[in-house]
Amino acid sequence: MFHKEGFKIILVTLFIVIGVSLIAHYFVDILWLKKLIQIVAFLFLIAILQFFRNPKRITPKNDQHIIAPVDGKVVVIEEVFEKEYFKDKRLQVSIFMSPVNVHVTRYALGGKVTYSEYHPGKYLVAWHPKASEENERTTIVVDNPVFGEVLYRQIAGALAKRIVNYAKVGDTAVQGEDAGFIKFGSRVDVYLPLGTKINVQLNQTVKGGIDVIAEK
């Protein structure tokens, strides 16, 4: 139900909310103010629980498909020059996650992890054109029997302060399985071979582990 990366924050938040509610109950005499404080504290807890939710999703395994790695909105579909790993042109599909989206990162395809690197950086807004090069980010490459090597990049946004990446070189990536987490708003870029058929449009909302964003 909730992602393991959120357990500590959820527990701390729960204690804070209980503490604030008890203080308001015993030390605030104005009834409407007491209730307001308790309601705001409760809503804050709900927001934290909502952010770290991890809905169970069943992904049909298909090497012909690239599945959305995260929930969010498609903000980029374009041919670009990928500088870090391929050093050639690729088809980039970017999905932006707002704070209300599920922030679990899932493997978009199955295969062998051949590259996994963390890069510290800035915290520009996730839709900034330079975010993929200057923000805190991780770059992961999965070698798939149909698509060959496909790169995806977790990018921290203005609010995101920690990227969690579970992919290690040599690991077997299982399509749709948990590959990491980005806390508090972010973006994921997927770099596909030129000529890949794209199944989504700009501003389309997608669900991670469910929607097919590209296929052979």
Of 21, 94, 132, 186, the catalytic one is 186
Query: Is 132 among the catalytic positions?
Result: no
Max CA pair span of the chain? 68
Could you tell me if 192 and 146 are in contact, meaning their C-beta atoms sit under 8 angstroms apart? Answer: no
Could you tell me if 103 and 183 are in contact, meaning their C-beta atoms sit under 8 angstroms apart? Answer: yes
In DSSP notation, 146-197 reads TTEEEEEEEEE-SS---EEE---TTPEE-TTSEEEEESSSEEEEEEE-TTPE
The strand pairing partners of 113, in sequence order, are 142
Active site residues per annotation: 186
